[in-house]
Amino acid sequence: MTNTPLYKIKSVSEYHRLAGLPKPEHPLISVVNFNGMKQLVLEEPVNVVSDLYSISLKHAPGFKFKYGQQQYDCEEGVMFFLSPNQVFGVEPGGNPPTERSGYVLLIHPDFLWNTSLAKTIKQYDFFDYSINEALFLSEKEETIVNNIVDNIKQEYHSNIDKFSKSIMITHLENLLSYADRFYNRQFITREKSNHQILQRLEELLTNYFDNDDLITKGLPTVQYTAEQLNVSPKYLSGLLRTLTGQNAQQHLHDKLIEKAKEKLSTTNLSISEIAYQLGFEHSQSFSRLFKVKMNQSPLEFRASFN
C-alpha cells in the first residue's frame, strides 16, 4: 500500500507555477480563476498542504475534495476556507471533470503583518471547519462575495501605492464578516440536518452519562464529542452557539450539572462520591464548577431539598 503523495505549497508564486499560470501581480495575494488553470487529471489521490490562507468558491463536477476524514463532492458551488498548514486532499471522481468554475483567493500570512486582520483572522472558526461543513451560498450571497473578491482583484491589478494594502485588508475584513453572517444563517436555515446533529448529541451524552463512562473516561471532551458526531469541534461549537447560545464546552458542563443535581436530590451519596461518579479526580474541582454554574455549593443545593 503506497502513501498518498503530499505536495507542499509555500508561496503564492509557487501556487501559480503549479497551476500553469503567469507570475502573480502581487507576491502575497492573488485571485486564481479555476477555468484559467491547467487541466488536472488525477489517477490517484493527492494531498496538498499550503503555507497560505485560501478562500475558495468552487464548481468542479467529477472531483471529490477531502479534508481530514471527510469527503465532499463539488457538484454544486460551495465556499470553504483553509488556514496555513491544513492538509487538503483531492481525489479523482468517476470521470475527469469536463467543466469547472470558481476561484480561490490566496493570502500569504505576511500580507496580514502589522494589520488589524493579523489577529482577528484567527477568530473566524470556519477556517477550521471540514469540507462537509462548507458554506452554501444563495444567489444573492454569491453576488455579494463575488463583488468583494472582484474589488480585491481590481485593487492589486492597479498601480500599487501606500493605500493599496489597507484597502485590500478592508475588503478582506468585509468578506470574512459576510461569511460569518452567512454561516450563522446556514445554521438556522439548514434546520433539519443541524437539529439532527443536536438530537444525536443529546443521545450521545445521555448514553455517556448514564453508563460508567464518566468514571472510567472522565467528562467527554469537545474533540471526542465532535468526532462521534462526524463534525469538527469548531463547527459543533458554532452550531450550538447559534442555536442554543452556548458553545460545546458550556453545553457539556450543563449536562454534567444536570446529572449532579439529580444525584444530589435523589441519593444520599457524599459530595466526594458524586464527584468521583462524575469523573472528577478531586471533589474540590466538582464543587467549584457546580458553584460557578448554580451560584451555590453542592451542599447548599442539597439542603434546599430538605
pLDDT at 281: 82
Decide which of 189, 220, 240 is a domain's last residue. 189
- Please check whether residues 126 and 39 belong to one and the same domain: yes
pTM here is 0.76
Decide which of 159, 189, 219 is a domain's last residue. 189
Cβ contacts of 44 within 8 Å, gap of 6 or more? 4, 5, 92
- Please check whether residues 181 and 197 belong to one and the same domain: no
pLDDT at 68: 41
pLDDT at 6: 80
Q: What are φ and ψ of residue 42, in 5° steps?
A: -100, 140
- Please check whether residues 122 and 84 belong to one and the same domain: yes
pLDDT at 102: 86
Counting Cα atoms < 13 Å in the Cβ hemisphere of 217 gives 11
Name the stretches of the chain with pLDDT < 70.
1-2, 38-43, 59-77, 89-100, 131, 191-192, 306
- Please check whether residues 19 and 107 belong to one and the same domain: yes
- Please check whether residues 56 and 32 belong to one and the same domain: yes
Q: Which three cell numbers stand for residue 130?
A: 471540514
Cβ contacts of 252 within 8 Å, gap of 6 or more? 205, 219, 220, 222, 225
What domain range includes position 216? 192-303
Residue 1 resides in a domain: no
- Residue 233 burial (CB count, 10 A): 21
pLDDT at 38: 66
- Please check whether residues 59 and 197 belong to one and the same domain: no
Cβ contacts of 157 within 8 Å, gap of 6 or more? 25
CATH classification of the domain holding 217:
1.10.10.60
- Please check whether residues 143 and 247 belong to one and the same domain: no
pLDDT at 66: 47
pLDDT at 5: 77
Decide which of 171, 189, 207 is a domain's last residue. 189
Asked if residues 31 and 103 have their Cβ atoms less than 8 Å apart, the reply is yes
Number of domains in the chain: 2
